[in-house]
A = this chain, B = another copy of it.
Amino acid sequence: MVKNDKRDEIVRAALELIAEHGFHGAPMAMIAGRAGVGAGTIYRYFENKDVLITELYRDIEKNIMEALQQGYSVEKPFRERFLHLGTELLHHFIHNPLVFRYLEQFHNSPYGVAFRRDKILGTSTSECNVFRELFELGTTQQILKDLPLVILFALFFGPVLSVARDHILGFVELDEVLIHHTIEACWDGIKR
């Protein structure tokens, strides 16, 4: 009987604590406590802390991927598709601050670099594929600036992540209008 009950509790507790305090501020004992299980129980579900961390990351990435697909259609015009992905991504971060904070912790750690390498250079089945597809189409169709994909990514993800962070930290209150303007500004940055 594979009870995901406890596994889910462990993952939830890990997300909360790591998002709030970072990897080193979230000891296994604390995660176990928050999850309402014994410290040893975690090791029945995850080989070690690294595995817990990376599996949680994959869960999150899958969720984001699914959220972005909603209402996305290759039929729509290019610009509309871009605006959709941008606003959806920003929405998702704003409505899931724990997820966002976790991703930040993850990306700024030894774990993160290897994953980013895959995402930018490789052909991993990651959240970026839908973006990669769109951006490469945009450059070949001369809709976007003639810049390396990595630069275009930076011009888009850079502001989106910054803005999401500022919102979550309370430096700015993003509403629908502001979100829209931000993504439009990103568009101005990448469009030819």
Give the interface of A toward B (CB within 8 A).
Answer: 22, 24-25, 104-105, 108-110, 113, 116-117, 120-121, 145, 147-148, 150-151, 153-155, 157-163, 166, 169, 171-172, 178, 181-182, 185-186, 188-191
Contacts and interface: CB of A to CB of B under 8 A. Distances in A.
Nearest to A164: B154
A157 to B, nearest CB: 6
B150 A157 contact: no
Contacts of A153: 162
Contact of A155 (B116, B159, B178): B159
A63 to B, nearest CB: 22
Tell me if A's interface is mostly helix, strand, loop or mixed: helix
A163 B116 CA distance: 13
A154 B148 contact: no
A25 B108 CA distance: 13
Given A145-B185, A181-B145, A189-B186, A169 B24 contact: no
Nearest to A174: B151
